Amino acid sequence: MILSQNELDLISAALVEDLAGGEDITSVSTIPAEAMATADFRARRDGVIAGSEVATEVLRKVGLSQITQVRKDGEKVNAGDVLLTVSGNTRAILLAERTALNFFCHLSGIATFTSHWVNQVSGTSCQVRDTRKTTPGMRVLEKYAVRMGGGTNHRMTLSDAALIKDNHIAAAGGVVAAFTKVRSHYPDSEIEIEVDTLDQLREVLPQKPDLILLDNMSPAQCREAVAIVKGVCKLEASGGITIDNARTYAESGVDYIAIGALTHSAPVFDIGLDLRAE
């Protein structure tokens, strides 16, 4: 992953936040300034990792350069596996430890959680897709982690594509009115529109949207929607989908299931930093 200036600034801000203008009083008190060490970032459980390049950049920011990425983002790892190794000034390693782990654990948690969803729908043509329900400032990183877990990304920003939702429809006066207004303003943009009922689906289908979002519909309703659309456009199911019923939705024939939980509710993946014994 090539980190943009936004991600580099985020890393810098995280390190500044941890020091708050002071110094690491514990390390300064207990470790000689010239002390050197080697440390391993090690998985504490099985999963899929993401964020190794971010962790590496955190280490670089504190002046460390002897860094080896042992495992690559997107790889399945087992508890006990070494993911990344760093050698250098001991104080610097411990200064970077928590910030590096905060990023690494969070992003690997998203990748691992996404992989569980992807496994649930394996063998179907349905793809697991994220949403814009991301941590402010971390959207690019979190959506990257989704990809590392085998998922796919919805739009990154509001300007990438149109997604006409219920509030837009209410404000515009109906699904056709809302769709027509967006199409007239942005004739070349991809347009997705949300429908709450099959009647709305039938109403907007002649307008030829690129994608229709089936909001809070049951798997049976999704199957009926697939039969109505007959491949004219893609269908995405959202709302009421859990990891336990994900396969049932996927088998309805929809092209995507949209899962906000991939980014807003993924459990943190447990990674630890272990200094090697001298």
Catalytic residue among 71, 98, 132, 234: 98
Catalytic residue among 57, 130, 215, 255: 215
- Gap between the Cα atoms of 91 and 230, Å rounded: 62
Residue 98 bears catalytic tag: yes
The rounded distance, in Å, linking the Cα atoms of 223 and 251 is: 8
**Which residue out of 165, 208, 210, 276 is catalytically annotated?**
165
Answer yes or no: 7 catalytic: no
User: Is 215 marked active-site?
Assistant: yes
Could you say which of 73, 97, 194, 236 is catalytic? 194
Gyration radius of the chain's alpha carbons: 23
Task: Quickly tell me which residue has 């200094």 as its tokens.
Answer: 275
Kindly write down the DSSP assignment for every residue of 55-103, as one continuous string.
Answer: HHHHHHHTT--EEEE-S-TT-EE-TT-EEEEEEEEHHHHHHHHHHHHHH
Element (H, E) at 191: strand 191-195
Smallest CA-to-CA distance from 275 within 94, 100, 104 is with: 94
Q: What is the DSSP string of 245-278?
A: THHHHHTTT-SEEE-THHHHSPPPP-EEEEEPP-
Amino acid, single-letter form, for residue 232: V
Sheet holding 162-164, edge to edge: 127-129, 256-258, 234-238, 211-215, 191-195, 162-164
Neighbouring-strand partners of residue 237: 214, 257
Q: Which residue is catalytic, options 132, 133, 183, 234?
A: 133
**Number of neighbouring beta carbons within 10 Å of residue 122:** 10
**194 flagged as catalytic:** yes
| Catalytic residue annotation | 98, 133, 165, 194, 215
